[in-house]
Amino acid sequence: MRRKELRNNSTVHIVDQLKDLALQIRSYRKAAHNVILRDLGMLENQIPLFVLRKMLEIQCSSLKSADDMLMSMLKGFCKELSPLKMKDQPMIKISERAHLLNILYDRFVSKAEQKIEITKVDDQGEAMHPEEI
């Protein structure tokens, strides 16, 4: 009986250690993710978009699929960095921008002539009606 209790205790201890290890790994991944995002935003780390497009074109089967993949990556990056939940905006043509910071600037800095509409959203990301606010 004593041997079975020891085995159960050691199993519980190992499971607890594995849970702690999993939490640490997630924490390190998140920290590494944040460092990468920070570094991508630095001016000195900017890779021209036409270079990224060409690299993806080599990897993908066609220029269209490379453009689609780059657009998806850029949208995800902008969404990740945005402090606000923003509506999907039409993406800027890659050929019109030099690098990632140009795209971020255009997405987040409002132009003086544009009307800004702010919509409050609930926890599920659904727009709230004015009477609910």
pTM of the full structure: 0.54
Query: Residue 90 sits in which domain range?
Result: 46-108
CB 71 within 8 A of CB 64: no
The answer to whether residue 60 is domain-embedded is: yes
- pLDDT tens for the chain, 133 residues long, are 555 565 666 777 787 888 888 888 888 788 887 787 778 777 777 888 888 888 899 998 888 898 888 888 888 887 777 766 666 666 667 777 888 888 878 777 755 456 666 677 777 767 666 555 5
Residues 19 and 63 in one domain: no
Give the model's pLDDT for residue 100: 83
The count of structural domains within the chain is: 2
Q: What is the pLDDT at residue 112? A: 47
Q: Kindly state whether residue 15 falls inside one of the protein's structural domains.
A: yes
Residue 123 lies in a domain: no
DSSP 76-117: HHHHHH-SS-----PPPPGGG-SSHHHHHHHHHSPPTTSPP-
Residues 54 and 34 in one domain: no
